[in-house]
A = this chain, B = another copy of it.
Amino acid sequence: MNIAVAQSGGPTCAINASLVGVFREAMKHSTIDAIFGSINGIEGIVHDHLINLKTLIRSGYDMDLLRQTPSTVLGSCRYKLPDENEDSSVYKTIAKVLEHRKIGAFFYIGGNDSMDTVQKLSAYFTKISLDVKVIGIPKTIDNDLCVTDHTPGFGSAAKYVATTMQEIIRDSSVYSIPSVTIVEIMGRHAGWLTASSAVLHAYGEPAPHLVYVPEAHFSEKCFLRDVEQEMAKHKAVIIAVSEGIAVPEGVQSGMVDNFGHKYLSGIGKYLEQLVRNKIGCKVRSIELNVMQRCSSHLCSKTDIDEAEQIGAAGVKCALHGETGRVMVFRRVHNNPYTIVMEPADASQIANREKFLPREFLTPSGNNISDSAMPYFLPLIQGELHLAMEGGIPKHFTIQESILK
């Protein structure tokens, strides 16, 4: 049989490593013939836009380069399948393409939206008795997938956030006047990535002095009180804040009007202005922006290795005859850090979110508890030995024309 693999959702540093995992494992099995890459996620199946990965990935060196290349080499999409009972036409198209291409297994690397696709397609294929296994390989920097201990891509993003936070602390601490620095970190509903900035505490860094995540109630009054309390203790106060913390509705719509961009990318600027107006000290806000999801030069080796391993585990799972499953990590030990990979039902993961547990926050809800450290620390360990070209990490790329 042939197989197909696709990448979907927002970029991370680990999605290409999972592609390598699927590819390298598939190459070991004589029952698998062609390995197709679907361009732009499930859209590539719909439009029969598939490329032969064996002609694209030609050596172990290519795989090494893919492991250190961020984002999705096969492109991505934000396509959500309609309910099959309401509109089955796209399902029929997908089934036809898969049959025509003799594809017996489809691997979808993505977040909780993509796991919705895994669930729907596997249910449809079972219903029409089409023997195509559908397996989800998780990824998201948000770490908000249910069931799994963590998600591929999160460890690298967390390592970037913590390392960059430490550098911002150095940068912010040089002048003799008091200052406040606000670092805005991705996470619309879940504070995992913002919380990861606090791993610095485990290495003796007092900052970030305040951490605000969507899981805790946010009030401007308490925020200003917190900032003033920290300013009494520290010359340079450093604050980590999730893009998704709740601010008053009026603020949100007002920012869309005045700033011309979505509220979610503006919370840092909003709090900066609040501190300037109400406290009047030197204040700066910094948005880590897409760098937190694509800075492969600083990826976690643990994350990249695991991302490859879970891709490979997905292939084995399909060959065992399973479908409608998503591969997950289960943590067995923290010391030494040990995980196992196992399949879970896509229905348990699709369209759901996992939030930071309350015990990971301090009682006041404005920082991260030391008890959270054993969870975060293993995920950021290790560095890749990067292949460089003239001072810049080398990336694996494919011609722009192929992706069109």
Contact = CB atoms under 8 A, between A and B. Distances in A.
Interface of A: 11, 40, 43, 69-72, 75-78, 159, 162-164, 166-168, 170-176, 199-200, 202-203, 206, 234-235, 258-261, 269, 272-273, 276, 284, 286-291, 293-298, 300, 377, 380-383, 388-393, 395, 397, 400, 403-404
Contact of A294 (B43, B171, B287, B295): B171
A124 B48 CA distance: 78
A269 B266 CA distance: 11
A166 B396 CA distance: 11
Given A70-B167, A76-B174, A392-B166, A404 B235 contact: yes
Given A174-B75, A175-B40, A298-B297, A291 B391 contact: no
A245 to B, nearest CB: 19
B159 A391 contact: yes
Nearest to A162: B392
A274 to B, nearest CB: 10
Contacts of A202: 390
Contacts of A75: 173-176
Contact of A203 (B167, B272, B390, B403): B390
A175 B392 contact: no
Nearest to A380: B391
Contacts of A203: 389-390, 392
8 contacts: A40-B176, A70-B167, A71-B170, A170-B294, A199-B390, A234-B400, A260-B269, A287-B289
Contacts of A164: 291, 295
A381 B389 CA distance: 9
B173 A71 contact: yes
Contacts of A43: 176
Given A77-B175, A258-B259, A259-B259, 4 more contacts: A167-B291, A171-B290, A286-B291, A377-B390
Which one of A170, A174, A403 has the highest number of Cβ atoms from chain B below 10 Å of its Cβ? A174
Which one of A203, A258, A260 has the highest number of Cβ atoms from chain B below 10 Å of its Cβ? A260
A90 B203 CA distance: 41
A276 B260 contact: yes
A168 B40 contact: no
Given A71-B170, A403-B173, A163 B392 contact: yes
Contacts of A286: 289-291
Contacts of A294: 167-168, 170-171
A309 B203 CA distance: 31
Nearest to A167: B294
Which one of A295, A392, A400 has the highest number of Cβ atoms from chain B below 10 Å of its Cβ? A392
Contacts of A298: 297-298
Given A176-B40, A259-B269, A390-B381, A395 B170 contact: yes
